[in-house]
Amino acid sequence: MTKAARPPLPLPSTTPLAPPDGFDTRLAEIGVRLDAPVLATLGDYLARLLAMNEQMNLTAIKDPSDAWEKHALDALTLVPLLGDVSAGSRLVDVGSGGGLPGIPIAIARPDLGVTLVEATQKKAAFLSAVVDALGLANVTVRAERAEQLGAGELRGVFDVVTARAVARLNLLVPLTAPLAKPGGLVLLVKGQRAEEELAEAKRVLAEQGTTHEKTVATPTGRIVVLRRGAGEARRKAKR
């Protein structure tokens, strides 16, 4: 069934989750400050994610306090890396699943245009429904495979590409890097094995015209920071 033919997905009714005690401190530790209405929208999103998770497989996390730490906080560890990304820039989250890390980023940075790419139609239908319910005017959902978008209309258009828990780096870089503009950032949320995966992906990084700028340790994992080089611009000009 195509996206257009799929009927709107009804969301279960929910009460927004309140942040656990000390969440402000956890945010301050990663250099993020969110006002109460923004935190309320984040709690609304988490409640809807956990409620829908009872009907479809969106996340292994079921406990609300874990959802704040392992989903909201983990996603928001990307926000300090977007300090130089100006209003109006475009960010794409590849393999967004239930909306992570893309939706918390879109809530924290409403000045960015955020595209969520998710290949599984049912999950993409949830994403469209939750984006509507939360009134996130800056978010677009694409129910397609990232490699198709990266080989077509969305090649090289994004200032920032994010992904979490989609694949090992040697498979993930070819899915994400083609979507980035020359000079664009590719931020990949990884765990303790980031360095091992980077070593394995060395050749792929070069083939994709990306350089590894740094790996940032966060309270919830590691973020591999890649930058798409100007070499891609030269390759594009030759085509």
H or E element in which residue 170 lies: helix 169-176
Figure out which of the listed residues 44, 118, 159, 197 binds ligand SAM, where binding follows CB under 6 A. 118
Binding residues for ligand SAM restricted to 74-113, rule: CB under 6 A: 94-98, 100
Confirm whether residue 146 is marked as ligand binding. Answer: yes
Extract the tokens encoding 81.
């890396």
Binding residues for ligand SAM restricted to 23-62, rule: CB under 6 A: 59
Q: Where are the beta strands (DSSP E) in 4-147?
A: 90-94, 113-117, 139-142
Among residues 70 and 212, whose Cβ is nearest to ligand SAM? 70
Q: Is 132 in the site for ligand SAM (CB under 6 A)?
A: no
CA-nearest of 153, 156, 227, 157 to 188 is 227
Q: Where are the beta strands (DSSP E) in the chain?
A: 90-94, 113-117, 139-142, 158-164, 180-190, 210-218, 221-228
Interface mask (CB under 6 A) for ligand SAM, residues 201-220, using x and -? --------------------
Vertex 162: Cα angle to 37 and 142 (nearest 5): 85
Among residues 109 and 164, whose Cβ is nearest to ligand SAM? 164
The residues, any chain, with a CB within 8 Å of residue 70's CB and separated by 6 or more, are: 61, 220
Figure out which of the listed residues 175, 180, 188, 194 binds ligand SAM, where binding follows CB under 6 A. 175
Confirm whether residue 220 is marked as ligand binding. Answer: no
Confirm whether residue 195 is marked as ligand binding. Answer: no
Figure out which of the listed residues 40, 51, 66, 120 binds ligand SAM, where binding follows CB under 6 A. 120
Measured from the CB of residue 175, what is the shortest distance to ligand SAM in angstroms?
Answer: 5
Distance, in Å, from the CA atom of 26 to the CA atom of 167, rounded to the nearest integer, reads 28
- The site for ligand SAM, by CB under 6 A, has a size of 19
Binding residues for ligand SAM restricted to 141-160, rule: CB under 6 A: 145-147
Q: Which stretch binds ligand SAM (CB under 6 A): 48-56, 81-89, 118-126, 131-139?
A: 118-126
Beta bridge partners of 117: 94, 142
Among residues 96 and 210, whose Cβ is nearest to ligand SAM? 96
CA-nearest of 8, 6, 9, 32 to 218 is 32
Tell whether omega for the bond before 10 is within 30 degrees of 0, i.e. cis.
Answer: no
Among residues 44 and 118, whose Cβ is nearest to ligand SAM? 118
The residues, any chain, with a CB within 8 Å of residue 191's CB and separated by 6 or more, are: 221, 222
Binding stretches for ligand SAM (CB under 6 A): 59, 94-98, 100, 117-120, 123, 145-147, 164-166, 175
Binding residue positions for S-adenosyl-L-methionine: 95, 100, 118-120, 146-147, 164
